[in-house]
């Protein structure tokens, strides 16, 4: 079956690529397995040199790669440019810090000398999604490669050109053949790759359902696994919040990338004192968003990435309205050739509505009215997800205390949840396990080996 690049803004086919047969896949796995030991023997300086060339190429051809992203998955071009720049920065970050992060640690014991050394695991399979088609790959690849691993990429089937472009960037930057390989394979072939003796670990960013399947397969074959899955991030607005800042950030946090982000704010939990004021301001700001051609710099909301995703989102909304949620604005598809959906708000969402329990992966915000501060905290934790969260209050000490009570991988006080190469990123509960980025991220795919010498 071919991989099809379909422009979600126009519903036009851009290009198609044939998937690999079994023989080509096996050869790629063998080549990666053979290439990794030699890469592991290179110096940190050599690896850093490659990553710095990668960063330079990303920046030199930023507009080209951003256009590719926008054409394949519909992200507004200005957001796509920022994504490419973030990838370059992450490559530079690990080029600078990897040696420090992986330096052997001396530990006092009954030995004459004892320490922990960090060695690469081998070949890592990265199963990546379409919503940030460059960033998701680079935040996995940069630390894995700097640690001396090889990386196999199984990208989402609707962004094959992005996948091929990333592979070419590494090749053109001097990475040895087989150390980074894009696999043009079907979803059904992933289990076989995980089972391969050439593969030693797997990382996945994607849906909860995909995470369960990959985790089960990795567990069956006793292979290390890191999962970054869905989220239903709470955005708690307390009575003393800076309302202008909270509202402007609420719009950015929910509607960036057309709302197609695991760490987008999705549940806006407001206390009674400010609920109506927040909703009025939020509605006004959302209705002012410019929806249109993602290739235009003025556009703030592009299309959703696929028609089936838009249909699923609309079904979640209509089912929630049937269960008592109130449509404040939007809540309709745009009649055109592309996969556009109006920026939307649902109010008075209760536990009877699908929107209360399910992740809404698109441009829809849900407002939940808490009885008070304690109830806001209860609502924030009343989800099977646990990725990001934020709290808005001028009382930073109180907000920090409440942050300690939220069940999530991160909590931002008076700021938008985002990933940063300097900070660990990941979730708990059904949002997955393990961490990406920072020192913790590079340590996920190394062997912490104890050495004891009499």
pLDDT tens column, 258-306: 999 999 999 999 999 999 999 999 999 999 999 999 999 999 999 999 9
Measured CA to CA, the distance from residue 230 to residue 145 in angstroms comes to: 26
Measured CA to CA, the distance from residue 103 to residue 269 in angstroms comes to: 44
Task: Say if pTM beats, i.e. exceeds, 0.95.
Answer: yes
pLDDT at 185: 98
pLDDT tens column, 362-403: 999 999 999 999 999 999 999 999 999 999 999 999 999 999
pLDDT at 1: 67
Q: Among the options 228, 359, 436, 444, which is catalytic? A: 228
Token pair belonging to 149: 């691993």
Query: Are the CB atoms for 159 and 72 separated by under 8 Å?
Result: yes
In the three-class reduction of DSSP (H, G, I as helix; E, B as strand; rest coil), residue 116 is classed as strand
Query: Are the CB atoms for 90 and 139 separated by under 8 Å?
Result: yes
444 is a catalytic site residue: no
From residue 341, give the alpha-carbon distance in Å to each of 262, 298, 312. 18, 17, 12
Tell me the domains of the chain and their CATH numbers.
Answer: 2-229+429-453 (3.40.605.10), 233-413 (3.40.309.10)
Question: How many other C-beta atoms lie within 10 A of the C-beta of residue 216?
Answer: 12
What backbone phi and psi angles, to 5 degrees, belong to 353?
Answer: -90, 140
Q: Among the options 162, 217, 225, 262, which is catalytic? A: 262
Which residues lie across from 123 on neighbouring strands? 150
From residue 299, give the alpha-carbon distance in Å to each of 10, 74, 76, 248, 262. 15, 11, 6, 17, 22
pLDDT at 2: 78
pLDDT at 61: 98
With 0-12 / 13-18 / 19 or more C-beta atoms within 10 angstroms meaning exposed / middle / buried, residue 180 is buried
pLDDT at 132: 98
What backbone phi and psi angles, to 5 degrees, belong to 16?
Answer: -130, 145
The pLDDT profile of the chain, 454 residues, written as one tens digit per residue, is 679 999 999 999 999 999 999 999 999 999 999 999 999 999 999 999 999 999 999 999 999 999 999 999 999 999 999 999 999 999 999 999 999 999 999 999 999 999 999 999 999 999 999 999 999 999 999 999 999 999 999 999 999 999 999 999 999 999 999 999 999 999 999 999 999 999 999 999 999 999 999 999 999 999 999 999 999 999 999 999 999 999 999 999 999 999 999 999 999 999 999 999 999 999 999 999 999 999 999 999 999 999 999 999 999 999 999 999 999 999 999 999 999 999 999 999 999 999 999 999 999 999 999 999 999 999 999 999 999 999 999 999 999 999 999 999 999 999 999 999 999 999 999 999 999 999 999 999 999 999 999 9
Query: Are the CB atoms for 220 and 94 separated by under 8 Å?
Result: no
262 is a catalytic site residue: yes
117 CB-near residues (< 8 Å, 6+ apart): 104, 448, 449, 451
Query: Are the CB atoms for 328 and 347 separated by under 8 Å?
Result: yes
Task: Let me know how long the chain is.
Answer: 454
Measured CA to CA, the distance from residue 452 to residue 454 in angstroms comes to: 7
In the three-class reduction of DSSP (H, G, I as helix; E, B as strand; rest coil), residue 132 is classed as coil
Question: How many other C-beta atoms lie within 10 A of the C-beta of residue 184?
Answer: 22
């Amino acid at each position: 079956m071919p991989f099809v690049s379909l422009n979600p803004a126009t519903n036009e086919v851009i290009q198609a690529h044939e998937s690999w047969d079994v023989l080509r896949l096996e050869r790629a796995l063998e080549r990666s397995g053979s290439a990794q030991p030699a890469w592991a023997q290179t110096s940190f300086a050599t690896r850093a040199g490659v990553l710095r060339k990668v960063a330079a190429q990303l920046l030199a051809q930023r507009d080209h790669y951003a256009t590719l992203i926008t054409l394949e998955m519909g992200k507004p071009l200005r957001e796509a440019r920022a994504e490419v720049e973030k990838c370059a920065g992450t490559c530079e970050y690990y080029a600078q810090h990897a040696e420090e992060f992986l330096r052997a640690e001396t530990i006092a014991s009954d030995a004459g000398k004892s320490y922990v050394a960090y060695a690469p695991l081998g070949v890592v399979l990265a199963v990546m999604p379409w919503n940030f088609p460059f960033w998701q790959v680079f935040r996995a690849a940069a630390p894995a490669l700097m640690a001396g691993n090889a990386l196999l990429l199984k990208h989402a089937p609707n962004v094959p050109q992005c996948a091929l472009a990333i592979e070419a960037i590494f090749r053109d930057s001097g990475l040895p053949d087989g150390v980074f390989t894009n696999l043009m394979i079907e979803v059904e072939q992933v289990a076989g790759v995980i089972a391969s003796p050439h593969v030693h670990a797997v990382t996945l960013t994607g849906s909860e359902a995909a995470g369960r399947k990959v985790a089960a397969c990795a567990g069956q074959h006793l292979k290390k696994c890191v999962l970054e899955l869905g989220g239903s991030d709470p955005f708690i607005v307390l009575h003393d919040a800076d309302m202008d800042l909270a509202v402007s950030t609420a719009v950015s946090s929910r509607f960036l990338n057309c709302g197609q982000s695991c760490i987008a704010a999705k549940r806006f939990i407001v206390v009674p004192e400010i609920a109506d004021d927040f909703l009025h301001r939020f509605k006004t700001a959302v209705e002012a968003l410019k929806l249109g051609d993602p290739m235009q710099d003025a556009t703030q909301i592009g299309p959703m990435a696929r028609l089936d995703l838009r249909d699923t989102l609309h079904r979640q909304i209509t089912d929630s309205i049937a269960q008592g949620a109130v449509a404040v604005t939007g809540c309709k598809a745009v009649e055109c050739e592309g996969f556009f959906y109006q920026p939307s708000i649902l109010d008075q969402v209760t536990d009877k509505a699908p929107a209360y329990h399910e992740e809404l992966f698109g441009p829809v915000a849900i407002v939940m009215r808490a009885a008070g501060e304690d109830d806001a905290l209860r609502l924030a934790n009343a989800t099977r997800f646990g990725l990001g969260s934020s709290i808005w209050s001028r009382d930073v000490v109180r907000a920090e205390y409440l942050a300690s009570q939220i069940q999530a991988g991160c909590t931002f006080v008076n700021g938008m949840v985002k990933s940063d190469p300097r900070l660990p990123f990941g979730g708990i509960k059904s949002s997955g396990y393990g961490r990406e980025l920072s020192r913790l991220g590079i340590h996920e795919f190394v062997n912490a080996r104890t050495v004891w010498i009499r």
